[in-house]
Amino acid sequence: MNHDDAPDELLPRRFGPRAAAVLCGLLALGGGFAYLARLVPPEEPEEPEEPELAAAPEATPVAPVGVSLPEPRDALPMMARNFDPDAAAHDSGVLGIAQQETGHFLASPYGSVFAIGNDDEDVWGGLTGTEAGEAVGLGGLGVIGSGRGGGGTGDAGIGLGTGTGQGFGGRGHAMSRMSRMDMEMPRDAVSNEGYDTIEEHRFVAVADDARSTFAIDVDTASFSNVRRYLNQGQLPPADAVRVEEFINYFDYADAPPTDGTPFSVHSEVADCPWDASHLLVRLGLQGQVWDDADLPARNFVFLLDVSGSMKGSDRLPLVRDALGLLVDHLRPQDRVGIVVYAGASGVVLEPTAGTEKDTIRRALARLDAGGSTNGGAGIELAYRLASQHFVAGGANRVILATDGDFNVGVANRKALVRLVERKRDSGVFLSVLGVGRGNLQDATMEDLADRGNGNYAYLDSIDEARKVLVDEAAATLVTIAKDVKIQVEFDPSEVASWRLVGYENRKLAHQDFKDDRKDAGEIGAGHRVTALYEIVPKRAGDGRMSPLMKVGLRWKAPDGDVSTQIEHTVGSDARSLASSSDDFRLAAGAAQFGMLLRNSGSRGDASWASTIALVEGSLGEDPSCERVELAQLVGRAAELSGAAARSRVRTRCPRS
């Protein structure tokens, strides 16, 4: 793309003759500007000062942390001598144009990037903003057409680059959304991401322990986070893979309850695909399915991290777009408030009716990232706001969107968890939306959601946001049963040993099953939960007579304190893998995929080729294209692992 091709909207909206002359001069000087910027001497030999804007008039409103107000027209630009050119180019993208007025250049309308001007005090003038991450300039002085982000890579030269902000930026080239994100973070930058160590379940002899007790888990963050790794050409860390979240990412055809209970229970037994001498049992829970018209009034408080770590197109901008999708589907009886936090916290929007969608959208649009992260203060304020507008019988929830990188205030993970545990007793639950990479604190976010009676999802794209906040909004945001626990008792005459696949961090002591003081997992409207047990049978199929196991389930109403219990029996009849249902093979294939990524010692005969075949044999009806996508992701992981196996599925999926 050359200069003549630049669209009109990419050029400054009011670009005067003097400014045009300056721009032409800048283009002529080209790469010399990177050098000249380093030659601008400081007035005094002291540490560089923090950029400061001129004092605003007394009547000028002060925005809460993370909210951008329009720049005052009489603002004085900050001198370039107070900037490190390399840091400015890397942190704020390529350099931007500002409008000339009365001898000074004002900031661009978007308040972004370092602006070039010819003010009265210095050759360089400009203001800094926070729209970093839309593009990255590496050491070059560039000029952005619109002053919003920028494009291409700046390489000590000035040329027309393309990107989200499209403008001048050195040797520019068109970049997809993923390739821009890859430029923002080294491809191997995972050392600062936080994952809990997973010690996989081993086989337990029934003679030693005939019972298995655990809390259900409806989180799906692990799968979408691993998808992010694979889509950027990397295998994930082993501890980023939680097998139960791979299994529970997908929809199954289990029928909802018809007896008034909040969920139904289903089971199926077939040969284990990774060890033909074993059996695999699939337990499926399907929550009540509610129509939108039947959902209770929703009282949401968006708690948004606007700290410096949230800069970048895959962080705060994605969160704004994601929550905008949820706003589109608010009803008149729903209310939304917005709290932001960085070094401090503040209320951006008092709880506002769902009819005021434009007001809510404008509040989201004003959010910018900058500063350190005091998550504890924000959580306190968000719960307070939700409690003040509590809806009896409604869905009262704080929705936290963050990368989990809490570094000031209540930053200790245990202290944050204790804070959330205290707040859940008020009837306000917590859901967590994780974003970003390189500093993703997955373990902290999962822990907060679990202890806050909510769920944890990772947003790797706007498509995943639509799945979580629109397509599955009832399941994600409306709880129908809390503290759901499962206890399985195996028949020692039929089962020699057993292993629960996944759920390592959800294990409970057997006595906790009937202890109503013990916290467990929550199920939302329409949620499905699947668990797999690998069983070593005592005798061949023809000789099996008794049920394999009995399943007990306990739960409380969302506002209740006493549990209800039901039981389900799993028979001993087992199908061949070939005659099992599509849902069975899908769940087994997702589990096998996770075990291969973890290099699990329990993977048996599993291979990339057999996993691809298992998933491709389970496609069935797939309106969301998620099963096709799984087959493609397995093929991608096989390729990254150096295996020859490839998926034969070529259908293009929205998120692949």
Q: Other C-beta atoms within 10 Å of 147: how many?
A: 30
DSSP state of 111: -
Q: Are 79 and 42 in contact (CB under 8 A)?
A: no
Please report, rounded to a whole number, the percentage of residues in the chain having pLDDT higher than 90.
57
- The pLDDT-based confidence of 230 (bands split at 50, 70, 90) is very high
Distance CA(193)–CA(51), nearest Å, equals 31
**Mean predicted confidence (pLDDT) in 220-247:** 97
Q: Is the pLDDT of residue 27 over 50?
A: no
Q: Where are the beta strands (DSSP E) in 464-563?
A: 479-490, 495-501, 521-524, 528-537, 549-556
Burial class of residue 430 (count of CB atoms within 10 Å of its CB; 0-12, 13-18, 19+): buried
List, in order, residues 6 or more apart from 14 with CB less than 8 Å away: 99
Distance CA(39)–CA(123), nearest Å, equals 12
- The pLDDT-based confidence of 410 (bands split at 50, 70, 90) is low
Q: Are 119 and 298 in contact (CB under 8 A)?
A: no
Which of the listed ranges 26-35, 159-168, 326-335 does the model predict with the highest average pLDDT?
326-335
Q: Which residue has the tokens 């050409």?
A: 233
Max intra-chain CA distance, the chain = 95
β partners of residue 401: 304, 433
Six token digits for residue 431: 């859901």
Q: Is the pLDDT of residue 119 over 50?
A: no
Residue 404 pLDDT = 83
- Selected residue with higher pLDDT from 481 and 150: 481
- Selected residue with higher pLDDT from 186 and 365: 365
Distance CA(552)–CA(380), nearest Å, equals 37
- Selected residue with higher pLDDT from 418 and 30: 418
Q: Where are the beta strands (DSSP E) in 411-526?
A: 429-434, 456-458, 479-490, 495-501, 521-524
Nearest of 228, 208, 273 to residue 613 by alpha carbon: 273
Q: Are 125 and 115 in contact (CB under 8 A)?
A: yes
Mean pLDDT of the chain: 76
Phi-psi region of 170 (alpha: psi -120 to 50; beta: other; left: phi over 0): left
Q: Are 284 and 428 in contact (CB under 8 A)?
A: no
**Mean predicted confidence (pLDDT) in 372-394:** 85
Nearest of 95, 90, 83 to residue 51 by alpha carbon: 83
Domains, the chain, with CATH or none = 3-175 (no CATH), 204-290+480-640 (2.60.40.1230), 296-477 (3.40.50.410)
Amino acid at 614: L
Which of the listed ranges 68-82, 175-189, 536-550, 634-648 does the model predict with the highest average pLDDT?
634-648
**Mean predicted confidence (pLDDT) in 246-275:** 96
DSSP state of 194: B
Query: pLDDT tens, 50-91?
Result: 333 333 333 333 344 454 444 333 333 333 334 444 444 444
Distance CA(518)–CA(216), nearest Å, equals 13
- The pLDDT-based confidence of 373 (bands split at 50, 70, 90) is low
Return the axis-axis angle of helices 413-424 and 375-388, rounded to nearest 10°.
0
Q: Are 90 and 170 in contact (CB under 8 A)?
A: no
> Of 204-218, 466-480, 538-552, 568-582, where does mean pLDDT reach its minimum?
538-552
Residue 222 pLDDT = 98
- The pLDDT-based confidence of 654 (bands split at 50, 70, 90) is low
Distance CA(170)–CA(124), nearest Å, equals 19
Query: pLDDT tens, 285-321?
Result: 999 998 888 899 999 999 999 988 898 899 999 999 9
Q: How far apart are the first and last CA of the chain?
A: 28
Distance CA(633)–CA(115), nearest Å, equals 43
Strands 275-287 and 521-524 turn out to be unpaired
- The pLDDT-based confidence of 343 (bands split at 50, 70, 90) is low
pTM, whole model, 2 decimals? Answer: 0.72
Query: pLDDT tens, 529-550?
Result: 999 999 999 987 666 778 999 9
- Helix/strand/coil for 343: coil
- The pLDDT-based confidence of 4 (bands split at 50, 70, 90) is very low
- Selected residue with higher pLDDT from 646 and 188: 646
Q: Are 404 and 434 in contact (CB under 8 A)?
A: yes
Given strand 495-501, what is the order of strands in its sheet? 204-205, 495-501, 528-537, 275-287, 263-272
- The pLDDT-based confidence of 190 (bands split at 50, 70, 90) is low
- The pLDDT-based confidence of 419 (bands split at 50, 70, 90) is confident
Residue 344 pLDDT = 67
Q: Are 323 and 337 in contact (CB under 8 A)?
A: no
- The pLDDT-based confidence of 405 (bands split at 50, 70, 90) is confident
Residue 407 pLDDT = 56
Residue 541 pLDDT = 67
Q: Which helix (H) or strand (E) holds 419?
A: helix 413-424
CA distances from 471 to 438, 445, 453 (A): 28, 22, 21
β partners of residue 594: none
Distance CA(594)–CA(245), nearest Å, equals 9
